[in-house]
Amino acid sequence: MRALRKVAPGEGLELTEVEEPGCGPWDVKVKVLRTGICGTDLHILAWDSSAQSMCDTVPFTPGHEFYGEVVEVGGEVSDVRVGDRISGEGHVVCGTCRNCRAG
C-alpha cells in the first residue's frame, strides 16, 4: 500500500510503498477514506524546530486526523464492527481533564 512518509530528517515527505499492517487482538484496521492536514503535519513537512523536537524517530508516517471504514477487528475488540465508519484523532485522551470533558 502507499503512504506519504517522512523518510529522513529534512524538508519534504516521500510517497512510498509500505507493507500493509496486520491486526492484533486489540487492534482495529481502518481503510482511510479521507484525511486532514493540520499544523503538526506542516511542521513535519518543513522539518522545523518544532517537528524536530517532537519527532525522535525517522522514518514514520505522519497524520492523525482521518475518516475511514473498519475493515478488520481483533478478537478482543467488542465495540467496533467491520463496516463501521469512524473518524480518528491520534491524541491520547484521559476523559477526565477539562479539555476531555468539554469534548
Burial of 82 (0-12, 13-18, 19+ CB in 10 A): exposed
> Residue 98 has what pLDDT?
75
Report the domain count for the chain.
1
Among 43, 57, 61, 91, the one annotated catalytic: 43
Output the domain CATH number for residue 6. 3.90.180.10
Catalytic residue status for 91: no
Q: Helical H runs in 1-103?
A: 39-46, 49-54, 98-102
Q: What residues does 30 pair with on adjacent strands?
A: 70
Q: Which residues pair with 32 in a beta bridge?
A: 68
Q: Which of 35, 40, 57, 61 is catalytic?
A: 40
- Give the domain extent around 28: 2-102
Instruction: Specify the pLDDT at position 103.
Output: 62
Q: pTM for this one?
A: 0.75
| pLDDT (tens place) for every residue of the chain, 103 residues total | 999 999 999 999 999 999 999 999 999 999 999 988 888 899 999 999 999 988 888 999 988 889 999 999 999 999 999 999 998 876 666 778 776 777 6
pLDDT at 92: 67
- The verdict on whether 40 is a catalytic residue reads yes
- What is the C-alpha to C-alpha distance for residues 79 and 20, in angstroms, rounded to an integer? 23
